A = this chain, B = another copy of it.
């Protein structure tokens, strides 16, 4: 079985962390200067590992094995949230690199084709899972044309500024691959709370998004009497609080919902706001609670619009993501490797976060492996995992990949 090198693994993870580091966190949003610097560094590492390295027209970094035969695709993403942690995405990319190196260095596995990838913009600066969508052919012109960041910068401008205009975009050759495996930090507390060191993901929750717009009348906060106001922010507060009050009854055990993005215009203390926006996102492993939430939202919006005053519109903020199931064959390889390294200390669990594996699963058998997140904290500068968990996860992944690639070969 292949032998990973813990020092090399941790050194590469820490080097990637240094690109865009801010305190303990990392600020490397998709297509930023730091993101592109990280991608060029990754391409060099992929080439050093003997892979054919390239950066495609949407920023995906690809490392293609020169070995013949059906391959396993490994990887994750290297872009981060606006104020992100150091392991989200980066872990799975450096694992992929280390596993490719370890397999190449072992005579028993050196013939196995393993490709590695770092996808672009998994974190939705412009369009969530942009890179994996592009690779599997799910990036429609419509989706792409409407994509812009929260400051209104269009995706096309960001691609041009990154020097990628006109660069070819890679498309997945499905017949080349036996499957895709993505390793990731859990980003939740379940492994830590239950004392497990490895998670084998059963499926990825579905996700829907609604953007509310509130159109009222901007006016002076001192002279406009309450009865004549059409205050867009007041309507936003009411809608948001009514959603938070009504959803618990309709939720399943692990259903989650978030209203994390607000915009109020002109956002000044002394002005009655004339316009506001609110994003609602909700997730569950099954469709039923998501359907119930949509019905509740429609009822509240209709009720508030019937009163007149502020006009509320609710529109799908993104293409809905259906719940997905991970491939049983690949899962068995992950489970066998986990049981070998930490018998009884691993578990099966769903992923509450969305991942590129959810996109790739439409084109290839896909699976995921989790390692514990300290305190369950993620999407935050405080995100971290223990070194021994990081090393263990890579060992489990290497064994599982070796077995899956041998089986496919």
A41-62 at interface with B (beta carbon < 8 Å): none
Would B187 and A220 count as touching, CB distance under 8 A? yes
Q: Does A226 contact B (CB under 8 A)?
A: yes
From A9-17, A240-248, A292-300, the one touching the partner chain is A240-248
Asked whether A83 and B266 contact (CB < 8 A) given A283-B222, A378-B220, A378-B223, the answer is: yes
Q: Does A379 contact B (CB under 8 A)?
A: yes
Would B272 and A258 count as touching, CB distance under 8 A? yes
Cα–Cα, bound, A354→B281 (Å): 40
Q: Does A140 contact B (CB under 8 A)?
A: no
Task: Specify which chain B residues have a CB less than 8 angstroms from the CB of A236 in the assembled complex.
Answer: 237
Asked whether A231 and B219 contact (CB < 8 A) given A188-B224, A268-B81, A379-B271, the answer is: no
Asked whether A260 and B272 contact (CB < 8 A) given A186-B223, A254-B225, the answer is: yes
Asked whether A226 and B256 contact (CB < 8 A) given A219-B378, A238-B241, the answer is: yes
Q: Does A69 contact B (CB under 8 A)?
A: no
Asked whether A352 and B223 contact (CB < 8 A) given A237-B240, A237-B244, the answer is: yes
Q: Does A269 contact B (CB under 8 A)?
A: yes
Residue of A258, A259, A266, A268 with most partner-chain B CB within 10 A: A258
Q: Does A189 contact B (CB under 8 A)?
A: yes
Asked whether A222 and B83 contact (CB < 8 A) given A233-B260, A238-B244, A260-B233, the answer is: no
15 pairs of residues in contact across A and B, judged by CB atoms under 8 Å: A81-B268, A82-B268, A124-B270, A187-B220, A188-B222, A188-B225, A205-B222, A223-B353, A231-B258, A241-B241, A260-B267, A261-B264, A261-B268, A262-B262, A262-B267
Given A219-B377, A223-B376, output 18 extra A-B contacts at Cβ < 8 Å: A81-B271, A124-B268, A150-B267, A217-B377, A219-B376, A219-B380, A221-B260, A222-B352, A224-B256, A226-B256, A233-B240, A233-B259, A233-B260, A237-B244, A237-B259, A241-B242, A260-B267, A269-B279
